[in-house]
Amino acid sequence: MTVLSIRMDGRTSAKPRVGGIVTRVRQVADEIGERVKGVRPLTVIVPVGFSDVPAQIDELSPGRYLIEADLPSGELLIKDIIIEPESGEQEVVLSTQPPPREWLGWQHFSGKVASAARYAGEVERSKGELPGGRPAREPYAAIQTRSVGPSPATSPESGKPDTSARGSIPEPAPQILTGLGDGFRMQFEDIAAGLEVPVGKARPLAEVMPLTRVGEEVAADELHALFRIRDIHTERRSYLWLADRTSSELVSLPAPWFSVESREPVPVELLIRHRPNRAGFRVSVSVADPHFGVALAYMGRGDFPNGARVFTAARDMLYAKRSNPLAAAAGGYLLVATAAGKPDADWYNWINNLSEWFKDLPDGMILRGSLRMRAGDADGANEVLTRAYRRGLPYYSLGITMLLDGLTRLSAHDPDDRELASMAKTVNVVARRANMDEIFTSIRLRRPSD
Amino acid sequence: MTEVYRRVQPGPATYALVIGVGEYPHLPGGSGARTRADDGMTQLGSPTLSARVVADWLIDSFNNTNTPLASVRLLLSDANSQVYIRPGSTVAIPVDAADHRNVKAAARDWFADGNSDEDNLLIFYFCGHGISEGTDYALILRDYGATDANPLEGALDFRKLHLGMDTCKAAEQAYFIDACRLSSDTLIGSSGHAGEVPILPGIRNNALRPREASIFYATLGGQQAYAKPNKPSVFANALIKSLNGAGADDSEGDWRVDTTSLHRALDFYMDEENTPKVQVPQSASHSTFFLHYLLSEPEVPVVVSCDPVQAIADADLTCTQLGNVVHNRPAIGSPDPAAWNLELLPGGYDFTATFSRGAFRGALKSDYVRPTYRRIKLGVQP
């Protein structure tokens, strides 16, 4: 029997450690080369990042195996190996395609940015689509604001993060500005009523946010700008506004986000994708969490089964420590989406706790309401989802979908409930402005008339 | 007629609703009064071809002994022909137009069929224009824009259809949406209306099996879906190929396509057929259930290339199994195409590159081929 070790190669672009990738080990032929059929593959989680330790499988019998790793980008890594009799230990190293820029490593690994070869093509195309062969540059404006009330990430057991290590922001292109919107409450009604971006209040982003531009030495034709936000020093929920001449976006930041192991804040990355051939931009927020980063990346691509596998592998630690309700909510979404209505009792209890312990986390209450709905409990779902609605904008885009779906069903179920109908309509207005391809809530806003 | 295939099945069965809309009378180029709400949409050549290909595959190739095919409903809007000829038949079946009245009626009949047994499998395929705004998604039907008072009367509200289908007993439901997901002024200004709602959203009876519904979108939100002129769409092609082989797995002993392996195969084919990559498929509501059981070994896509890439120009490429040549491609004298595409049955193969001229020495690689796909890169030395 052989012990098989599987690890990602050193140049793997996801650094630091961000969880693991779902990998199947499948025997396809036996020791004498006869095809093996009807054997379910072994599934392991292969750690990814700096301090990789390999995933190990004990006691593999001799034969031919295929190692298939599902990257969050959609890329499938395949290795064909022979396990010899009495070979003791054997190691397999999985290699990914290189990122287009080293500083886009995590973004490439998670599928937000194309591989080097495709990226070069995108750059070339963008040049060709523009008069003069130069990509358009639009100035962005960004506003950070804070809602009333504490952040749900200020958990019973978490301390205040260290805010001393602010980064500096070099003059970026496009320019990013920021400002504070004082006392702003981010409820569904606010956005549905036509919230505008107060561009006139814009200030340099670094004044209010510990943010670093990543990849400072960038080519003039760069398609992306990447910022890393560390140690967001807020006890309240943070939003970011980004705007250019034609469009603007409100982004809910998943912060503060603490590692459940070290309890240190985990940096939030902000990727701004230009549209060189037209005005406008797209913004993506991600978290390189040591345990759940890859699960979030799978989730972002719509690969919920793999996201749930990675999450499940670490969920006990998450449940035990209660220090990262935002990660817990992500896990809740993954499990609700994949469990087909059969979550275990512990899991139900845990979702209930998430909804009650963290009063300013709309997502916990939305998940609870979705489970009530699944149980056919219309009255219970009504009570819980209306509470969720009043908690305001969820952290996750999927929360908007689940809340809207729940309120829509309940409203159809009880057409006389006018409050419910009104809530469903309001959430629908917001949902229409949501960028549903992003994991974290991102809403397109009106531009100010001036 | 809407139902182009019907076979009474004694127990749980599969019921399909297939819609292809290419002719839009009220969009530019159409035969009717032009709507002000065209939002840049025009006539399409691919959707009816795509819908016919999907209907053909269902009738000719779909195999699921747990839920054998009972019905295929087909609605088309085709400027050239409103008939459908089943595979192996010469009988032309007139097909109902894919307008909102017919689609609503067909959807309700489809719901009723699905509601006959909770172990039923439902399949929905739509190809045509689509416009979206956040979570709302309108599938544009033939009579879109017939009245400017409400252009979206000629559309199907897909979000609400999906919610409404949760009240149907059929526990397994697969939706394939082969349409753009671009934003539109009409949807923005529609005050929450995204088309007709054949079945009102509701709450599933919790005595039933929980619904497992998978949605496969041809493209990401805010993006376009593509087709070559007068060919089935990129997504329809990828779907059929995936169902026939690349999406299969034999972990249960026989080759089956489930919703998760299907997604991997769609990813591969759409990546291969989009150069440069312009269309990325997306799935949602992930449940894993078996869709299709192959009757024979799957054909696995294999992509053979050389490293360095330009070496392929002078490479004689050969694929052998147990010493027998399975496929061979002589040198083509050009680095384009940069890969040799094969379809192989599962098994171990040897891939070789030999050079009768040029600056490279030969290379050999042995690899095992099975779904989803294999990429074979032959490292050749100068």
Least confident span in A237-246, A360-369, B24-33, B291-300: A237-246
Confidence of residue A183 (pLDDT cuts 50, 70, 90): very low
- Residue-by-residue DSSP string for A287-333: E--TTTHHHHHHHHTT-HHHHHHHHHHHHHHHHHH---HHHHHHHHH
The sign of the dihedral angle between the CA atoms of A443, A444, A449, A450 is positive
Using the Cβ of B325 and the Cβ atoms of chain A, whether some distance falls under 8 Å is answered with: no
**Do A129 and A190 fall within a single domain?**
yes
Quote the minimal CA–CA distance from B372 to chain A in Å.
Answer: 9
**Do A285 and A297 fall within a single domain?**
no
Q: Let me know if residue A370 belongs to a domain.
A: yes
Q: Do B348 and A64 touch (CB under 8 A)?
A: yes
Tell me how many degrees the CA angle B345-B351-B357 measures, rounded to the nearest 5: 140
What does DSSP assign to residue A38? S
Instruction: List own/partner pairs for A349-356 with CB under 8 A and 24 or more apart.
Output: A350/A319, A354/A325, A354/A328, A354/A329, A355/A384
- Give the domain-ending residue among A290, A324, A349: A290
Please report the pLDDT score of residue A338 as a whole number.
Answer: 79
Q: Let me know if residue A315 belongs to a domain.
A: yes
Tell me how many degrees the CA angle A279-A281-A287 measures, rounded to the nearest 5: 175
In A138-292, which ranges are continuous DSSP H helix? 188-192
* Mean pLDDT for all residues in chain A: 75
The C-alpha R_g of chain B, in whole angstroms, comes to 23
Please report the pLDDT score of residue A421 as a whole number.
Answer: 94
**Do A276 and A394 fall within a single domain?**
no
Q: Let me know if residue A444 belongs to a domain.
A: no
Residue A52 and residue A5 in contact, taking contact as beta carbons nearer than 8 Å:
no
**Do A47 and A154 fall within a single domain?**
no
Least confident span in A374-383, A421-430, B281-290, B306-315: B281-290
**Do A210 and A310 fall within a single domain?**
no
Q: Let me know if residue A450 belongs to a domain.
A: no
Quote the minimal CA–CA distance from A410 to chain B in Å.
Answer: 7
Q: Do B134 and A431 touch (CB under 8 A)?
A: yes
**Do A41 and A136 fall within a single domain?**
no
Please report the pLDDT score of residue A14 as a whole number.
Answer: 53
Task: Look at B193 and A142; give whichever has higher pLDDT.
Answer: B193
Query: Which H/E stretch holds residue B85?
Result: strand B83-85
Quote the minimal CA–CA distance from B78 to chain A in Å.
Answer: 31
Ranges of chain B with pLDDT below 50:
275-276
Q: How far apart are CA A112 and CA B115, in angstroms?
A: 41
Confidence of residue A150 (pLDDT cuts 50, 70, 90): very low
Please report the pLDDT score of residue A239 as a whole number.
Answer: 79
- Give the domain-ending residue among A70, A91, A112: A91
Q: How far apart are CA B192 and CA B152, in angstroms?
A: 11
Residue in B159, B207, B210 closest to A340 by CB: B210
Please report the pLDDT score of residue A85 as a whole number.
Answer: 87
Q: How far apart are CA A348 and CA A364, in angstroms?
A: 11
Task: Look at B185 and A383; give whichever has higher pLDDT.
Answer: A383
**Do A111 and A239 fall within a single domain?**
yes
Percent of chain A residues topping a pLDDT of 70: 68
Please report the pLDDT score of residue B283 as a whole number.
Answer: 66
Least confident span in A15-24, A425-434, B359-368: A15-24
Residue environment code for B9-22, b if the CB has 16+ CB neighbours within 10 A, otherwise e: beebbbbbbbbbbb
ipTM above 0.85, yes or no: yes
Contacts of A303 in chain B (CB under 8 A): 263, 286
Residue B264 and residue A76 in contact, taking contact as beta carbons nearer than 8 Å:
yes
A70: CATH: 2.60.40
Confidence of residue A310 (pLDDT cuts 50, 70, 90): confident
Contacts of B277 in chain A (CB under 8 A): 114, 118
**Hey, what's the torsion of the CAs at B76, B77, B81, B82, to 10 degrees?**
50
Please report the pLDDT score of residue A210 as a whole number.
Answer: 59
Give the model confidence (pLDDT) of A326-335 as tens digits: 998 998 898 8
**Do A83 and A159 fall within a single domain?**
no
Confidence of residue A343 (pLDDT cuts 50, 70, 90): low
Please report the pLDDT score of residue A430 as a whole number.
Answer: 92
Count CB atoms within 10 A of the CB of residue B29. 13
Chain A residue with CA closest to B322: the answer is A33
Q: Hey, what domains does chain B have and what are their CATH numbers?
A: 3-293 (3.40.50.1460), 300-379 (2.60.40.1120)
Beta strands in A381-427 (DSSP E): none
Residue A332 and residue A301 in contact, taking contact as beta carbons nearer than 8 Å:
no
Quote the minimal CA–CA distance from A41 to chain B in Å.
Answer: 7
Q: Is the pLDDT assigned to residue A155 strictly greater than 50?
A: no
Q: Which two tokens stand for residue B291?
A: 């869709």
Q: Let me know if residue A96 belongs to a domain.
A: no
Quote the minimal CA–CA distance from A417 to chain B in Å.
Answer: 14
Q: Let me know if residue A441 belongs to a domain.
A: no
Q: Under 8 Å CB-to-CB from A193, ≥6 apart: which residues? A: none
CA-to-CA separations, A38 to A29, A305, B249, B291, in angstroms, rounded:
11, 21, 9, 18
Closest CA to B217 of A98, A219, A141, A302: A302
Residue A112 and residue A284 in contact, taking contact as beta carbons nearer than 8 Å:
yes
**Do A159 and A249 fall within a single domain?**
yes
What's the half-sphere exposure (Cβ side, CA atoms, 13 Å) at A393? 31
Percent of chain A residues topping a pLDDT of 90: 25
Please report the pLDDT score of residue A240 as a whole number.
Answer: 79
The sign of the dihedral angle between the CA atoms of A38, B235, B269, B286 is negative
- In this prediction, residues A285-300 reach a mean pLDDT of 88
Q: Which two tokens stand for residue B200?
A: 């009102």
Please report the pLDDT score of residue B254 as a whole number.
Answer: 92
Q: Do A305 and B277 touch (CB under 8 A)?
A: no
Q: How far apart are CA B315 and CA A232, in angstroms?
A: 56
Confidence of residue A166 (pLDDT cuts 50, 70, 90): very low
- Give the domain-ending residue among A91, A111, A139: A91
**Do A120 and A266 fall within a single domain?**
yes
Please report the pLDDT score of residue A157 as a whole number.
Answer: 34
Q: Let me know if residue A440 belongs to a domain.
A: no
Q: Do A118 and B276 touch (CB under 8 A)?
A: yes
Q: Is the pLDDT assigned to residue A138 strictly greater than 50?
A: no
Q: How far apart are CA B91 and CA B93, in angstroms?
A: 6
Residue in B203, B221, B368 closest to A64 by CB: B368
Count structural domains, chain A: 3
Contacts of A398 in chain B (CB under 8 A): none
**Do A61 and A113 fall within a single domain?**
no
Q: Do A428 and B135 touch (CB under 8 A)?
A: yes
Q: Let me know if residue A445 belongs to a domain.
A: no
Residue A388 and residue A380 in contact, taking contact as beta carbons nearer than 8 Å:
no
Q: Do B203 and A373 touch (CB under 8 A)?
A: yes
Closest CA to A106 of A272, A289, A258, A257: A289
Q: Is the pLDDT assigned to residue A38 strictly greater than 90?
A: no
Please report the pLDDT score of residue A301 as a whole number.
Answer: 82
Please report the pLDDT score of residue A208 as a whole number.
Answer: 54
Domain, as residue range, for A25:
2-91
Q: How far apart are CA B133 and CA B136, in angstroms?
A: 5
Q: Under 8 Å CB-to-CB from B210, ≥6 apart: which residues? A: A340, A341, A342, A374, B171, B204
Q: Do A408 and B221 touch (CB under 8 A)?
A: no
A329: CATH: 1.25.40.10
Place of tokens 């019921």: B15
**Do A47 and A155 fall within a single domain?**
no
Task: Look at B296 and A250; give whichever has higher pLDDT.
Answer: B296
